A and B are shown apart, each in its own frame.
Chain A
């Protein structure tokens, strides 16, 4: 659904790209061979010239180093490793040669194919989908050109050249050389018009369960640099004072005392608040305490979260403003049903609360190039924002893409919040020094952009023999896409796809099925949060289907399977998870199992959670998970993402909640906002379904099923359905 809408966006902008429309190109650089593809416009007109000859997918240097330019941002999910795996497989280099850098600034090269290809971005668990052909082809082309160069030099047929572990060799003549020796000569070879990719039986890297992430060692030694670690000559540190209420604007400030404080260089007003600029972080923080600020709150959101959710509950009983799906005659079927279930679910705002508080670095160099370092998850948007603020043409903006300490969606902000701050502050001090803006944890927690709060009202009708004849869902909450550049293409007929994904595509065979949406007008800034719509739709649908199964007197697994006849991939993961978890078999005393199955981002995940109650609180002992994400590129990364996704999702449903009182966020740090800690992490077992299908996402799909699986186990243990999250609240309700 998302891909379809993004394609529509691309088409409207005249930028639609054929998936196969690549033109190979190569460039001889000072370093050696740089291989890229120029993406051809679908109409078949001349390909646009690249902005820079150095932009490419792979560069091979004369020292044999292989530098991969990743179109996909790495916030910890392992996209760099995934892309490197594709290149290593096809290029035939050794892992020790590989380095990966984030690329930006050329959507013709790096556009996300899964979104239509028109612009670059990481999200929706699409990294391996967009990289799959592109980086394998780049690797294969580079290998072919290296082999051709060696064949020419050695005067042997190119097809007799073997390429393995970064070396070219010819058995007949006994000659061999490293990649570096032919890096320059390879760049002079004709670019292959097409390349043969390895077949599945030839793969050594793709699907190799023994491969560990190539970037792991530096992360055990404190050597991995993040944006916070960027150091530049003369770099200043800025901290922000943001409005206490969303929508408030700066009325005035008094910086006299702060400016006199040791280490403080300047105090400036920018579009998002007041920045204290200092020689180091401690001086900036001390200076910030001395600034007096007044705000104009006339346009601010002043409601509390409880008030907002209460209004959602009442709106949920009204007819929806828009319909995302309407099969058959739901109201008629509900009216004639033998049994009608009617349940309302409430979901709080959630914070991303990534470990690295938001930050960005900006520097205008003497040659007029503005460099911006940061977690550039949607670089084209950030390039435009930086250019606008700096009053420079976009081609003068160079983004340096850093790995970040988590993200979970928070680094893809349509208004470019922290990126814009860095540029605005550097500009406000007259570009006299590079500036790093570093949010504190409190800035980060209170800086907005939350998973929206939602209320779902679900109704189901069963006939006399327990068959589901009607399913009606009404979702009430804020539109994430409203007011963003993506709105025109991705919100149609009142339906924000990110509000209804996971609900509108309910896989269960129900003849009368309606999904409605009421988007609300609330001025709390919201954003995609790992697994987006499925963070709430999976919970509501999978808890409610359990409730329906209970009403039908059926086993939750058998009941789902019977309704999934036309969905073999859902069935397969559900059956596998149930089998591996020993569904229905004896459990230790007081232990209960709950199940959930959900498709998100074109991957299919089923989870069985084993739970007992301890002091009135669920203790999750074990989670057995089956996942089908198509071809498994890195099985260990898939396992890691699912383990982590389960921990991330479990923390959220157990105890995460961001609340507001009179428009101000109550939580400021990890004492009020409570992500999962080690003692609550269950034992997770991940089973990967063998598949020949193209790879789909894994960064997010592990998250959605854990909440409903645990809630369904809690129901078995307590007889209580949890309709309000987090559990701490719902169990008391």
Chain B
């Protein structure tokens, strides 16, 4: 039995400890907001937070999050997350939307660590998140705008 905190609630899971966290979340727990894109930590669609850090859940064993605090797109709360998601909608960022959970999880981790990121900071933190619709211009703008609103 693997025990961890998921979106603020204790979660107990009877699963192969080598099952990627991605599939545990999606197939065992039923949280489908975290997406499968590559399975190799190359696209970022499966990004979640483990103890506050952005992690690719497709390359994280569920056994390794024992005792950790896992947050998915469904569990976001707090002023920064709410502002970020509101700005994301205000700037009409998503197109197909498939990568957007991962984009938001990465952006949130960036803004938590670096409240006023530069373009280079954004490139560094977001380069691992592919968007095949190429919504990148609006992603960049949304991160800057969130920083601005948080400062205001």
Contacts and interface: CB of A to CB of B under 8 A. Distances in A.
Interface string B63-105: 0000000001110100000000100111011111111110010
A87 B38 CA distance: 38
B54 interface: no
A356 B127 contact: no
Interface of B: 16, 19-20, 23-24, 26-28, 30-40, 42-43, 45, 72-74, 76, 85, 88-90, 92-101, 104, 122-123, 126-127, 129-140
Q: Sort A-B residue pairs by CB-CB distance and give the 6 closest, nearest first.
A: A222-B33, A647-B134, A405-B98, A76-B96, A219-B97, A222-B73
Contact of B123 (A76, A226, A636, A678): A678
Contacts of A219: 94, 97, 100
A220 B99 contact: no
A372 interface: no
Contacts of B101: 222
Nearest to A677: B127
Interface of A: 75-78, 212-213, 215-226, 228-229, 231, 237, 262, 280-282, 353-357, 403-408, 438, 440-441, 636, 640-641, 643-648, 650-651, 669-671, 675-679, 681, 683-684
Given A77-B95, A228-B32, A670-B43, A220 B100 contact: yes
Contact of A669 (B16, B32, B40, B135): B40
B99 A405 contact: yes
A85 B45 CA distance: 30
B20 A282 contact: yes
Nearest to A217: B89
Contacts of B99: 355, 405
B88 to A, nearest CB: 4
Given A216-B89, A220-B88, A280-B27, A228 B35 contact: yes
Nearest to A643: B137
Given A228-B35, A282-B16, 15 more contacts: A77-B95, A212-B90, A216-B92, A226-B35, A280-B28, A355-B37, A356-B96, A405-B97, A405-B98, A407-B96, A440-B39, A647-B134, A650-B134, A675-B130, A675-B132
B48 to A, nearest CB: 11
B132 A648 contact: yes
B40 A356 contact: no
Nearest to B75: A222
B92 A281 contact: no
Given A217-B89, A220-B85, A406 B96 contact: yes
Given A221-B73, A644-B133, A671 B42 contact: yes
22 contacts: A212-B92, A213-B92, A216-B89, A220-B94, A221-B85, A237-B27, A354-B96, A354-B132, A355-B35, A355-B96, A355-B132, A356-B98, A357-B36, A405-B37, A405-B98, A405-B99, A406-B98, A650-B134, A670-B37, A670-B130, A678-B131, A683-B137
Nearest to B88: A220
A194 to B, nearest CB: 36
Contacts of B32: 222, 225, 228-229, 231
A281 B134 contact: no
B93 A220 contact: yes
Among A280, A404, A650, find the residue whose CB has the most chain B CB atoms closer than 10 A. A280
Among B32, B72, B126, find the residue whose CB has the most chain A CB atoms closer than 10 A. B32
Among B30, B76, B94, find the residue whose CB has the most chain A CB atoms closer than 10 A. B94
A228 B123 contact: no
